[in-house]
Amino acid sequence: MSSTRTRRTRAALAGGLGLALALSACSGGGDEGGGDGGGDAAADVDCAAYEEYGDLSGKTVSVYASIVEPEAKQQTDSYIPFEECTGATIEYEGSREFEAQLPVRLRAGNPPDIAYIPQPGFLKSIVADFPDSVVPAPEGVVANANEYYTEGWVNYGTVDGTLYATPLGANVKSFVWYSPSAFESAGYEIPTTWDDLISLSEQIVEDGGIPWCAGIGSGEATGWPATDFLEDVVLRTAGPEVYDQWVNHEIPFDDPQIVEALGTAGEILKNPEFVNGGLGDVTSIASTEWVDAGLPILDGTCWMHRAANFYQANWGEGVTVAEDGDVFAFYLPGESEDDKPLLGGGEFVTAFADRPEVAAFHAYLSSPEWANAKAEVTGQGWISANSGLDPELLQSPIDQLSFDLLTDESYTFRFDGSDQMPGAVGTGAFWTELTAWIANDKADDQVLADIEAAWPAS
């Protein structure tokens, strides 16, 4: 008996030791990574601009956003000057499920310190649903916002008169991508009015081509590129004032002016002669992924593709994006040459904690120092509406053009409407109904009436 007992005790000890070793081996490494990421960049950082934030050594700020690799790397790189100068640590976490997970984390009482919210409408519902979690912008942030951003941009981060969120990045959506060399050899001019655009399309049809290619596929978010298209047309046919009333539901979603705009959009998107170059018939717009939709331009099976400046990331290796390169974009023209509405979007920095280091980081993100640091580490595909951003730092021609349009006062900027609407519409019915509009040839007025019906009562 006693010998069995001893043997069993030894076996237990041995097993325990092995397990303990394995456990401690697992837990050891984790602490190393976060603190000193990218120490090399420290040398050339001028810390003078960061003194106002004070010494934040040992403090940590967690950031949660929808931006994932490879753009996430550019985000974390742009925090390095702040981390080096103040000693704070920024823990960045990007998730493709951001919009679904942020409310879950808030409801569970586990909010991030800072979140980048890409839709003002989502910000509104977060403020309404979780008034105790979200923190109004502190003084330094408010000062930065008012100094470096236009009133319009400040208003997108304001809910019921209180500024909560400041703009981070920005994008410009009123672009038509084309191939400059193909246009030149065919003798096509870049259109400067909407009528020119339509007659150019008809010209291309006459010459035996299919002018437009489009795609609205985006997994469960399928349909969003079509909402951008409609918004761009509403800005042109009905004007910015009607657009604002429409977005804020001061006029019904299916107002006659919107029905007219959808009809105008349909003259391109649902015209079998105009679409869908290299991709199929009208319904193929619904099944084509938006990231692939412009690529037929490179094959010469399509001439024009309406997409935002960030579409440049999809052209692939070896394609030069420049006015004299393989592809470039022109401004989607207004009704006349003087009528220049501009549709765009962006993310908004929202804080869920009022600790000093969080306020300091929030202020940093709204400052020109950050915008310039971000531009320096980003090869292409990023701009900001921050007026302190040095355009020389932007590295791609389309980004420079976007920034020029964004800061040119002759253009009337409006924020993406679907991003401002309540979730049931902006990320629900608006997407699915426009998908049905294309995939099932659903009638214009029926589409708009069904979206109107989905608008939440309260």
Partner 1 sequence: MDWLVNADTTAEKLVLMLVAIGLFVLVMAVILLGVDRVKRVPQWVVVVAFVGPAMAAIAFGLVYPGLRTIRDSFYDRTSSNPVGLDNYVAAFTQDAFQVVLRNTLLWVVLVPLLATFVGLVYAVLVDRTRFEQFAKTLVFLPMAISMVGAGIIWKFVYEYRPDQQGVAQIGLLNQLLVWLGIEPQQFLLNQPFNNFFLIAVMIWIQAGFAMTVLSAAIKAIPDDIIEAARLDGLHGVGMFRYITVPSIRPALVVVVTTIAMGTLKVFDIVRTMTGGNFGTSVVANEFYNQSFRISNLGLGAALAVILFVLVIPLIVYNVRQLRLSEDIR
The one among 104, 186, 322, 443 contacting partner 1 by CB under 8 A: 104
Residue whose CB is less far from partner 1, 289 or 335? 289
d(CA 84, CA 65): 22
Among 6, 7, 23, 443, binds partner 1 (CB under 8 A): 23
Candidates 61-69, 101-109, 199-207, 229-237; binding stretch for partner 1 (CB under 8 A): 101-109
Residue type, 453: A
158-159 and 162-163 strand pairing: antiparallel
Name the minimum Å distance from CB 385 to partner 1: 27
Strand ranges, E, within 224-338: 305-306, 328-331
Segment contacting partner 1 by CB under 8 A, of 44-52, 75-83, 272-280, 341-349: 272-280
Please give the helix or strand (H or E) that residue 359 lies within, else none: helix 356-365
Answer yes or no whether residue 271 interacts with partner 1 by CB under 8 A: no
Token output for 327? 């592809």
Give yes or no for residue 432 binding partner 1 (CB under 8 A): yes
Please state the closest distance from residue 89 (CB atom) to partner 1, in A.
14
Contacts of 64 (CB under 8 A, 6+ apart): 93, 94, 95, 98, 102, 105, 112, 114, 115, 116
CB of 333: closest distance to partner 1 in angstroms? 29
- Is residue 16 at the binding interface for partner 1, with CB under 8 A as the rule? yes
> Closest Cα to residue 321, out of 176, 170, 175, 179?
179
Decide if residue 443 touches partner 1 (CB under 8 A).
no
Q: Is 13 in the site for partner 1 (CB under 8 A)?
A: yes
CA–CA separation, 452 vs 38, rounded Å? 51
CA distance 164 to 417: 19
Q: How far is the CB of 100 from partner 1 (least distance, A)?
A: 4
Q: Does residue 9 belong to the site contacting partner 1 (CB under 8 A)?
A: yes
Give the residue, chosen from 33, 131, 208, 219, that forms a contact with partner 1 under the rule CB under 8 A. Answer: 219
242, 417 Cβ separation under 8 angstroms: no
Provide, rounded to whole angstroms, the least separation between the CB of residue 291 and partner 1. Answer: 14
Q: Check binding of 445 to partner 1 (CB under 8 A).
A: no
CA distance 458 to 85: 47
Residue of 196, 266, 420, 241 whose CA lies nearest to 341:
241
3-state secondary structure (DSSP) of residue 264: helix
| Closest CB to partner 1 among residues 107, 335 | 107
Residue with tokens 């280091």: 357
Task: Give the nearest distance from C-beta 34 to partner 1 in angstroms.
Answer: 14
Candidates 111, 223, 266, 346; binder of partner 1 (CB under 8 A) is 223
Smallest distance, partner 1 to C-beta of residue 118, A: 14
Q: Which of 28, 131, 272, 318 binds partner 1 (CB under 8 A)?
A: 28
Q: Which of 202, 205, 199, 269 is nearest to 232 (CA)?
A: 269
Q: Are 222 and 433 in contact (CB under 8 A)?
A: no
Binding pattern for the stretch 127-146 against partner 1, x by CB under 8 A and - elsewhere = --x-----------------
Stretch that binds partner 1, among 151-159, 171-179, 188-196, 419-427 (CB under 8 A): 419-427
Q: Name the β-bridge partners of 329.
A: 177
Nearer to partner 1, 78 or 427 (CB): 427
Choice from 37, 103, 209, 368 touching partner 1 (CB under 8 A): 103
Q: How far is CA 110 from CA 13, 102, 141, 356, 362, in A?
A: 39, 9, 24, 19, 19
Q: How far apart are the first and last CA of the chain?
A: 77
What residue ranges bind partner 1 (CB under 8 A)? Answer: 5, 8-9, 12-13, 15-17, 19-21, 23-24, 28, 99-101, 103-104, 125, 129, 218-223, 278-281, 283-284, 286-287, 299-301, 423-424, 427-428, 432, 435-436, 439-440, 456
